[in-house]
Chain A
Amino acid sequence: MQQIFNFVIRNKTFLLFLLLFGISMALTIQSHSYHRSQFIHSANGITGGVYGTLNSVGQYFDLKDKNQILAEENKRLRERLFNLSSDSDSSYVDTTYSREAYRVIKAEVFKNSYSLTNNYLTINKGKNDSLKQDFGVFTSNGIVGIIDKVSKNYARVLSILNKNSRINARIKKTNHSGSLKWDGKSPVFVQLDDVSTFAPVKVGDTIVTGGQSAIFPRGINIGTIDSFETDIGGDTYKIQVKLFNDMTNIGTVYILENLDRTEIKFLENTTDD
């Protein structure tokens, strides 16, 4: 017993180092698996509050860009409004909004990262605005990510620039779908995997969300095909997708709530058994 105490006292620096290093390693490993990081994240009360203050200052620096984006969105909406009566091919509008299956909430981005390998955004809406996990987040240009942590007034968004992110996407012209991942290299490109080689893929084609999950409806823009190659196996394509969104400059986002979500989930669970 005496010897054990002596050993502990003699090596206390090293033991404390091991303990602290072990804790941080545990937190790191935890953060690498989706939905698991418990309390070290930027959507809690303190960090969210600090980012709120910083954001109120930082907003002024990119007002010009924001105005530009808003003006473009206005233009697009206005065009849509004028074309609405003559628009016969309105499958996008029909399936998503006319039945009121979705509710859209606007939020401000308080913190956005894009240079790490696992990136998150913090937004200023939370439980109080009836946000929940797994709501989709997008801007006027395209998708941004999926809500992953919610506190009272803030929420953390798992960016598409995150190695844990998997989003169902498809080529707009055909219906071939695959899963959208990120390889951690450039914030401009994401990768679309598992697209069958039967699909007629052309550089410049548009990639949109696939609508096979309850998070995003069909047909929200993602990006265009920049280049593609066949996988090692030879039966699927690996496609480089150039994002429509400038992920380095995101100010206002829209959050999409699927009102049929519980119904879909219920249905999926019953068929599982």
Chain B
Amino acid sequence: MTNATAPNIIRFILLLVVQIAICNNINFFGYINPYIYIIFILLFPINDNNNNNRLFILLLSFLLGILVDMFSDSGGVHAAASVCLAYARPVMLKASFGMLYEHQSLKFSNIDTGNLITYVTLGTVLHHLVLFSLEIFNISGILLIFKKTLFSSIFTIILSVLIIILFSRKRK
């Protein structure tokens, strides 16, 4: 755990700054913004057998979400979405990596790109669905929710996969 702490702290701060300074201001076609800060939650190291790890990631996701909320004046929507994502993470890991995850030999530094895309897609769609449902908070805006989720997800998935591939060092 100790040797993974420093890179994770740096990743936390860096993603937060990039999110509020750049990604919140893209407004592609007027309303499409990527939410790349979820990379932190997706790539948080998996600690085998340790139940406290899950509590820790829940708390950290909440903190990250609430900070993004503070900067974008959105109440608690990012925090709620992040906490959901962090809670559902083991299920998604199992779904996209299968045996590799169950045998606890999964390392984010050497994974198949196909599996990675599945994993990021699952995570992003869940996060964005919760995010926009809470942001619009109105059942009559359901089409708007789906529209925003779809387009923002596409943007986030492309950016996240590119960032993850670009910044993982041990790739050949």
Contact = CB atoms under 8 A, between A and B. Distances in A.
A69 to B, nearest CB: 19
Contacts of A14: 87
B141 A27 contact: no
A163 to B, nearest CB: 9
A185 interface: yes
A117 B71 contact: no
A46 B84 CA distance: 27
B165 to A, nearest CB: 28
B150 interface: no
Interface string B42-75: 0000000001001100110010011001111111
B73 A17 contact: no
Nearest to A43: B73
Contacts of B141: 117, 184
A54 interface: yes
Given A50-B20, A115-B30, A116-B135, A24 B66 contact: yes
A41 B70 contact: yes
A17 B58 contact: yes
Contact of A115 (B33, B66, B69): B33
* Interface magnitude class on chain B: 35 or more
Contacts of A32: 75, 137
A145 interface: no
Contacts of A184: 136, 141, 144
Interface of A: 12-14, 16-17, 20-21, 23-32, 37, 40-42, 44, 46-47, 50-51, 54, 111, 113-120, 122, 156, 184-187, 248
Given A24-B65, A40-B66, A117-B135, 18 more contacts: A13-B87, A16-B59, A17-B86, A24-B76, A24-B83, A25-B80, A27-B75, A29-B75, A40-B75, A42-B70, A42-B72, A54-B21, A111-B71, A115-B30, A118-B74, A118-B75, A118-B135, A185-B144
21 contacts: A13-B58, A20-B58, A21-B83, A21-B87, A25-B80, A27-B66, A27-B75, A28-B74, A28-B137, A40-B66, A44-B70, A50-B20, A113-B72, A114-B30, A117-B136, A118-B74, A118-B75, A119-B73, A120-B73, A185-B144, A186-B30
